[in-house]
Amino acid sequence: MLKALELSGFKSFADKTRFEFHEGVTVVVGPNGSGKSNVVDAIKWVLGTQSAKSLRGSEMTDVIFNGSGSRGALNAAEVTLVLDNADGKYGGESQGRDVAITRRVYRSGEGEYLINGGACRLRDIRDLLAGTGIGTEAYSIIEQGKVDGLLQASPRDRRAIFEEAAGISRFRAKRQDAARRLARVEQNLLRLSDIVDEVE
C-alpha cells in the first residue's frame, strides 16, 4: 500500500511536496494544468519508467522543474515513494516497517536510485516489487487507454497481467535468471573440458 509520495523539483513541483495516502480512496482534484497528472507521472518515474514519452516529455531531464514566471529552473528532481511494509510484502521485515524508494536525476543526465536511503540499482527495485502488483508494467497504474489495451491484448499478454496479480511472475523471472546462469556455467564447463583435452 502506498503511504506517501514526496516530490522535489519534479515537473511543476519545485518545492518539496508531500502527499499522504490513507486507507480508502484518495482523489486528487484541481483545475486543468495544475499538475494532477504530474503526480501520477512521479509515481511511474520513481518506479523506474525509462521512457520520457510516457511521462509526456522528450528527454529524461524534462522531469526537472524548468522554471516558471518568478522562479528559475532547478538542477535536480527527486521523488520518494513510501510503501507500507507492515506485512513484510516488500523484501521482508528486514527492510523495516516502511520501504522508501527514491529516484533522482540531475541536469547532467546522471541519476540514481535508493532503497531506504541506500544506493541501489533499478533492478533491485524491480526485484523488490515483482509480484506485488506495483510497477511500471503492472496493473496498479491504470492510465487512460489501458482498459482498452487489456481488452484487446493477446491471450499471452493478458495472462502475464494475471500472473503478476497472482504473484507468479516473480518466480518466473527468477527461473529465467537461474536458467541463464545455468547456461553460462555449461558454457564454462565446455570450455574447461576443451582446455583439459588440450593439456592431456
Binding-site residues:
31-38
**What DSSP character marks residue 56?**
T
* Grid cell at residue 154: 493477446
Binding track over 120-159 against ligand ATP, x by CB under 6 A? ----------------------------------------
Scan residues 23-82 and list those touching ligand ATP (CB under 6 A): 30, 32-38, 62, 64-66, 68
Q: Which is nearer to ligand ATP, 74 or 168 (CB)?
A: 74
- Is residue 188 a contact point for ligand ATP (CB under 6 A)? no
Query: Closest separation between CB of residue 77 and ligand ATP, Å?
Result: 8
Give the phi and the psi of residue 11 in degrees, each rounded to 5: 45, -125
* Residues placed in the known binding site for ATP: 31-38
User: By CB under 6 A, how many residues form the interface with ligand ATP?
Assistant: 15
**Alpha-carbon distances, residue 109 vs 22, 97, 124, 183, 189 (angstroms):** 34, 32, 21, 36, 41
Query: Closest separation between CB of residue 73 and ligand ATP, Å?
Result: 7
Give the phi and the psi of residue 82 in degrees, each rounded to 5: -105, 125
Neighbours of 51 (CB within 10 A): 10
The 3-state DSSP class for residue 119 equals strand
Contact residues for ligand ATP (CB under 6 A)?
A: 11-12, 30, 32-38, 62, 64-66, 68
